[in-house]
Structure 1
Amino acid sequence: MRAAEHALMATVPDGTLMQRAAAGLAVAVADLLGGVYGRRVLLLVGPGDNGGDALYAGALLARRGAAVEAVLLAERAHEAGLAELRARGGRVVAIAGAHRPDVVVDGIVGIGGRPGLRPDAAAAVAAFPGVPVVAVDVSSGVGVDDGTLDGPHVLADLTVTFGTHKGCHLIDPAASVAGSVVLVDIGLDLPGAGVTALQAEDVGALLPRPGRFAQKYTRGVVGVRAGSEHYPGAAVLATSGAAAGLAGMVRYLGPAGAAVQARHPGTVLAPGRVQAWVVGPGGGDDVADELAAALADGVPVVVDAAALPHAVPGHPLQVLTPHAGELAALLGTERERVEAEQLAHAREAATRFGCVVLLKGRHSLTAHPDGRVRVTTSGLPWLAVAGAGDVLSGVIGSLLAAGLDPFDATSVGSWIHGAAAVLAGGGGPVTPEAVADAVGRVVSGLPE
């Protein structure tokens, strides 16, 4: 239990927080089942407070007519919760004697648990394949704070968490085993967190908006150095993100000027002052020189794709936007390690290069050198399509040009990019062009 929870418990009657958590858990289980009377509920109960939450929730469900059985996976269990369950007709059974349930409630370990489950707990979890699982607070066996998986763990269909989301609900790979996450407010007064996830209200508050007397230069000019003979489309897509309306003007320097201007006739194909650069999408043999020229301007630079191997350690004006394979190459490690320990590697890269790093993935991580991390949860798997990252680079570049600092520009841009994909595809397949075209509609729907 965290310090803030201890502090709050001193100000409320003993057991109040657990009762609130149990009530929220029972409601979520009932909703999942579509009713309670006559349903079978199996509780997997560990020795801690999560086990107590499960026992009290089981008692509430038994009171409403469910047949509730509990398997105790430790020598001790929450005594008051166990007594309440028995008083309401619940039974304690061995896993071998349990009836096949309609739902399994995972109350094995909580936020104090380590990755992996003991063999007896793993066997209990695996005893009823195909039965939906509801995790109490977190899926047992995952890395709670860092989102890692190491050994057997619960694969939940639904997680009911209390007070705030934990790292394992946001950061992959653990986030991928949480199922749908329901947050129950039990009145905790929690401190600030090192890992956060922007919501629409946050994005709306951070978004730079033009004033009454704005003009194209005051709104920011974003420059794009992208594309090559073999990859002219990357230049078009990066420019599409940059030209989505978040900045006042776009300059393009590169070999794909005709294609860029055919798609975006307002793009300026001439050198001049910019407030931010985007370098690397589809870049050719001269990409190192293009990056050096952009950095020499002394403005923020989004470093993507072909430019990433030429990133300059210790240059704070860079924003690096690698996927897992590219980040592995930057750090001299294996892609599998990056994918297994995403938070640690994103933070390591931000520290080593002294700049903001966006590790792109299902839940992208924006890492600041000071250790702060924002997780993007607004996208969908259909966004994994060639060219989507080029659009994202342009969107981030435009927000930098409009005045956001690198951490805000990157995390806000990633959120908008994900939301635009959902809007463009209606939850289905998307193209990068459609994502860029949907940016304006996402922004227009944000609260101010």
Structure 2
Amino acid sequence: MRSAHTAQQVREAEEPLLAAGPEGALMKRASAGLATALATYLGRVYGARVLLLVGAGNNGGDALYAGASLAGRGARVDALLLVPGRVHPDGLAAFRSAGGRVVDRVARVDGRPRTAYDVAVDGIVGIGGSGPLRPEAAEVVAALDGIPFVAVDVPSGVDVDSGRVEGPHVRAALTVTFGTHKAVHLVDPGAQACGVVELVDIGLYPPVAPIEALQATDVRDLLPVPSPSAHKYTRGVVGVRAGSDRYRGAGVLSVAGAASGLAGMVRFVPAGAGGGQGPGVVDLVQAAHPEIVVGEGRVQAWVVGSGGGEDAAEQLREACRDGVPVVVDADALAEVSGPLGVPAVLTPHAGELARMLGVERQEVEADQLAHARQAAERYDAVVLLKNRHTLAAHPDGRVRVTTVGPPWLATAGAGDVLGGLVGALLAAGLSPLDAASVGSWLHGAAAAFAGRGGPLTASDVARAIPDVCARLLR
């Protein structure tokens, strides 16, 4: 499991090592890992052209020591000191001793900086920084447009603990971080500025993290695997109240996610107390999924709202009467005004969450972590905020981030499949947080498996879920 700690937690974890180890040992471990990552990224060291952007503090020191290592192996390394009076002194001495050059401007060839360097190393600010780049640094970064950046710990100008991006910042091709991931490495929009994230172990042991990202082994361990004596009822029955005359396909796709094999049975209940939308939707659902049961009955979890239209309010009321966990999606989200009184997973996208919180969509997209947590607390439910990196926020502040899933997953009906899948996991006995995060991971992994790098449909995703589970369990 990838854990993301706060800047304060990282500093507290570093204190024992700084006190116990020789002075500078932690920085040398970090800089050695950075130098190795840079060498791998470049593909060669001898003759490579590297520019260090060196700010005050430890990130600048990491960059200087790594630059010294590369210079000692034949790279041409220049360092631009953005705060000359506050540069790490030992790092600068080591850099100069290895043959590194301190420059006062960005080198250019034919007036273009991109031809002068193979990579720029962002050592401007670290986890102690806040806010966008200062004008002087922003001007230098802008002048290097076209040159790939490798960020030290975090891209400068993004907020470490929230992932907010509020102005000029570095957009890295690679971020090399130390000891543990930070929230910005997982949470958008900041995560988009990180590029590929490489973690270097420097011996930190921080406490339990408030933000996590499930990995394949975590998902495997959480999958509800039936016992040898299991039958369809002990494996859980998931009920689906979805679809309407206008959005019939939503009912089919919601059932498709629920009928992925993770629960023992799927029960489909049409809107209007069992027949208000006529036989059309039922016929479509049964044609696609002949194993489902139509009509009222006992369930262990409900999925409501996908394509519900005017029937969504009734669907939600009926589901909540049973007192079992409920997944609330799409049209039913508009009917949620407070805690539902049952365990719940709410599955909004940014626009829907904005309406639920009474803010603008842009505010949600700019600070996804804070808004997901706020909604989870307000509605006393797990909130699954769907986006490039989907967040599952628990009312107690814990968050799990899904980082798998291709851009092709942004396709009509994919959210309907996700809701049904989460409902099946709830019915099988997973907690709301586990069901939401495992379901989101499986959904993204199934999209990657089904699409194989190309286009896909929501139905493709649903069909791929059993294969992904089988691969995990091998």
Match of 1:36 among 21, 38, 45: 45
Are residues 2 and 408 of structure 1, via their aligned partners in 2, closer, same or farther at CA, if it must alter by over 3 Å?
Answer: same
Structure 1: segments with no counterpart, 5+ residues? none
Kept in 2, the 8 Å contact 1:201–1:447? The answer is no
Partner of residue 176, structure 1: 192
Q: Does 1:26 align with 2:52?
A: no
Q: Give the secondary structure class of the aligned counterpart of 2:229.
A: coil
Partner of residue 46, structure 1: 55
How far residue 183 of structure 1 moved from its aligned partner, in angstroms, is 1.1
Kept in 2, the 8 Å contact 1:138–1:178? The answer is yes
Are residues 391 and 24 of structure 1, via their aligned partners in 2, closer, same or farther at CA, if it must alter by over 3 Å?
Answer: same
Q: Tell me how far apart the structure 1 counterparts of residues 416 and 370 of structure 2 sit (CA, whole Å).
A: 25
Q: Does 1:314 align with 2:339?
A: yes
How far residue 10 of structure 1 moved from its aligned partner, in angstroms, is 2.2
Partner of residue 105, structure 2: 95
Q: Does 1:366 align with 2:392?
A: yes
Alignment of 1:238-257 (within 5 A): 238-254=254-270, 255=277, 256-257=281-282
Q: Tell me how far apart the structure 1 counterparts of residues 373 and 294 of structure 2 sit (CA, whole Å).
A: 37
Partner of residue 168, structure 2: 152
Q: Does 1:410 align with 2:436?
A: yes
Deviations 1:364-412 (A, max 9, x none): 1000110001111011111000100000000000000000010110011
Partner of residue 125, structure 2: 109
Q: Tell me how far apart the structure 2 counterparts of residues 176 and 359 of structure 1 sit (CA, whole Å).
A: 17
Q: Tell me how far apart the structure 1 counterparts of residues 330 and 412 of structure 2 sit (CA, whole Å).
A: 12
Alignment of 1:231-380 (within 5 A): 231-254=247-270, 255=277, 256-315=281-340, 316-380=342-406
Partner of residue 64, structure 2: 55
How far residue 96 of structure 1 moved from its aligned partner, in angstroms, is 4.3
How far residue 181 of structure 1 moved from its aligned partner, in angstroms, is 0.9
Q: Give the secondary structure class of the aligned counterpart of 1:159.
A: strand
Q: Which runs of 4+ in 1 moved over 3 A?
A: 96-99
Partner of residue 78, structure 1: 88
Q: Does 1:191 align with 2:207?
A: yes
How far residue 264 of structure 1 moved from its aligned partner, in angstroms, is 0.5
How far residue 447 of structure 1 moved from its aligned partner, in angstroms, is 4.9
Aligned residue type for 2:437: S
Q: Tell me how far apart the structure 1 counterparts of residues 126 and 368 of structure 2 sit (CA, whole Å).
A: 22
How far residue 312 of structure 1 moved from its aligned partner, in angstroms, is 4.4
Kept in 2, the 8 Å contact 1:200–1:447? The answer is no
Moved more, 21-30 or 49-58: 21-30
Deviations 1:209-231 (A, max 9, x none): 10110100000000000001111
Q: Tell me how far apart the structure 1 counterparts of residues 425 and 308 of structure 2 sit (CA, whole Å).
A: 22
Count of residues in correspondence between the two structures: 448
Q: Tell me how far apart the structure 1 counterparts of residues 434 and 40 of structure 2 sit (CA, whole Å).
A: 37
Deviations 1:85-138 (A, max 9, x none): 000000111124577211100000111110201111111112222111100010
Q: Tell me how far apart the structure 2 counterparts of residues 97 and 220 of structure 1 sit (CA, whole Å).
A: 66
Partner of residue 446, structure 1: 472
Q: Tell me how far apart the structure 2 counterparts of residues 377 and 11 of structure 1 sit (CA, whole Å).
A: 36
Deviations 1:166-196 (A, max 9, x none): 1111111111111111111111111111111
Alignment of 1:390-429 (within 5 A): 390-429=416-455
Q: Give the secondary structure class of the aligned counterpart of 2:86.
A: coil
Kept in 2, the 8 Å contact 1:8–1:189? The answer is no
Q: Give the secondary structure class of the aligned counterpart of 1:298.
A: coil
Kept in 2, the 8 Å contact 1:219–1:402? The answer is yes
Q: Tell me how far apart the structure 2 counterparts of residues 447 and 10 of structure 1 sit (CA, whole Å).
A: 44
Kept in 2, the 8 Å contact 1:42–1:68? The answer is yes
How far residue 9 of structure 1 moved from its aligned partner, in angstroms, is 2.4
How far residue 251 of structure 1 moved from its aligned partner, in angstroms, is 0.3
Kept in 2, the 8 Å contact 1:246–1:399? The answer is yes
Kept in 2, the 8 Å contact 1:223–1:276? The answer is yes
Kept in 1, the 8 Å contact 2:449–2:464? The answer is yes
Q: Does 1:68 align with 2:84?
A: no
Deviations 1:7-41 (A, max 9, x none): 23223222222111111111111111110111111
- Cα RMSD for the two superposed structures: 1.2
- State TM-score, norm by structure 1: 0.98
Partner of residue 3, structure 2: none
Moved more, 118-127 or 104-113: 118-127
Aligned residue type for 1:44: L
Moved more, 301-310 or 14-23: 14-23
Deviations 1:150-169 (A, max 9, x none): 11100101111111111111
How far residue 432 of structure 1 moved from its aligned partner, in angstroms, is 0.6
Q: Give the secondary structure class of the aligned counterpart of 1:445.
A: helix
How far residue 319 of structure 1 moved from its aligned partner, in angstroms, is 1.1
Partner of residue 157, structure 2: 141
